[in-house]
Amino acid sequence: MQGSGGSRLRWEDLPPHVRAGVQDVLGAPVVRADSQAGGFSPGSADRVLTATGRRAFVKVASAAQNPHSAALHRREGRVSAALPPSLPAPRLLGVHDDGAWVALVLEEVDGHQPPLPWRRADVDAVLRALDALARGATPCPVPELPAAADELRDDFAGFERLAADGVPLDGMEELRALARRGAAALRGDTLVHLDLRADNVLLTARGAVLVDWPHACRGPAWLDALLLLVEVERHGGHDADALLARAPTTRDADPDDLTAALAGFAAFFLDGARRPAPPGLPTVREFQRVQGEALLAWVRRRAGSAP
């Protein structure tokens, strides 16, 4: 549950033994590396070309920069290795992990990130990919993934912590009740990406590809589309409620469950925004504040329109 910002390492900044480990995976020296923007990780993210013409995407993090980022890379490596090739996700080529540095080597996806604010054609392309994911990954094909309800239980309790600390919010009791319902609605056995934003999507000639899978879990088929539309709503220009009512994975969901899950995410963002910035991630708290305030306004509109 992050966003863009952060200061990245570049390929040439990596220790020589890490670059050598990546080149061992690729089977040839890297002769070109183009750093990629986006995301919060302080690690590197590069499209690389080898001397034999092989292309790949390489992302590297170290525990010295941010222990959480290194742990997420390890988790993403395990998830990516288990993803069926039919899903709209890049294939893992290999991993270099020396205990301090973790490098993921993935196939290069010939695509680009959707520009913000979202364009309708791009939203539709991602919704189609999420429909394909739900149809191809229910039941969840990746063993031992945690349940979304377990992953998000503490996040969705943010309003409880805000209330305990005396943070004033209009309608706090109703918001707490909504977030509790949202946590209870997260049942399901679909493979869920759980971090859908523009910088975790690549648009290609064949459709949208979903990248960066460290938060994957098992949950309801509607969860990823809901998260996508959180960002669409924040940037404006579209009727997110109408999109929820029409999208393949959300149109049959209980609208009150969707509103309740949105309240849970608002709780997560607003509670998280109060905390000190994690090491190497100086912009994350401001992102969470802006996201939380926009999401809270959407929740209130939806709850107010309920009969």
Q: Could you tell me the CATH number of the domain that includes residue 284? A: 3.90.1200.10
pLDDT beyond 90 at 97:
yes
Domain-located, residue 114: no
Read off the pLDDT of each residue in 64-70 and give the average, rounded to a whole number.
87
Domain-located, residue 5: no
Residues 195 and 271 in one domain: yes
Number of structural domains (the chain) is: 2
Q: What does the H/E/C string look like for the chain? A: CCCCCCCCCCHHHCCHHHHHHHHHHHCCCEEEEEECCCCCCCCEEEEEEECCCCEEEEEEEECCCCHHHHHHHHHHHHHHHHCCCCCCCCCEEEEEECCCEEEEEEECCCCECCCCCCCHHHHHHHHHHHHHHHHHCCCCCCCCCCEHHHHHHHHHCHHHHHHHCCCCCCCHHHHHHHHHHHHHCCCCCEEECCCCCHHHEEEECCEEEECCCCCCEEECCCHHHHHHHHHHHHHCCCCHHHHHHHCCCCCCCCHHHHHHHHHHHHHHHHHHCCCCCCCCCCCHHHHHHHHHHHHHHHHHHHHHHCC
Cβ neighbours of 69 (radius 10 Å): 25
pLDDT reported for residue 1: 40
Q: What is the pTM of this model?
A: 0.91
Is the model more confident about 280 or about 307? 280
Read off the pLDDT of each residue in 7-13 and give the average, rounded to a whole number.
87
Percent of the chain with pLDDT over 70: 95
pLDDT beyond 90 at 257:
yes
Read off the pLDDT of each residue in 96-120 and give the average, rounded to a whole number.
97
Q: Which of 79, 107, 135 is the last residue of a domain?
A: 107
Residues 205 and 297 in one domain: yes
pLDDT beyond 50 at 222:
yes
pLDDT reported for residue 137: 97
Query: 53 Cβ partners below 8 Å, 6+ apart?
Result: none
Residues 151 and 29 in one domain: no
Residues 160 and 297 in one domain: yes
Query: Which residue range(s) make up the domain with 260?
Result: 120-305
Residues 235 and 299 in one domain: yes
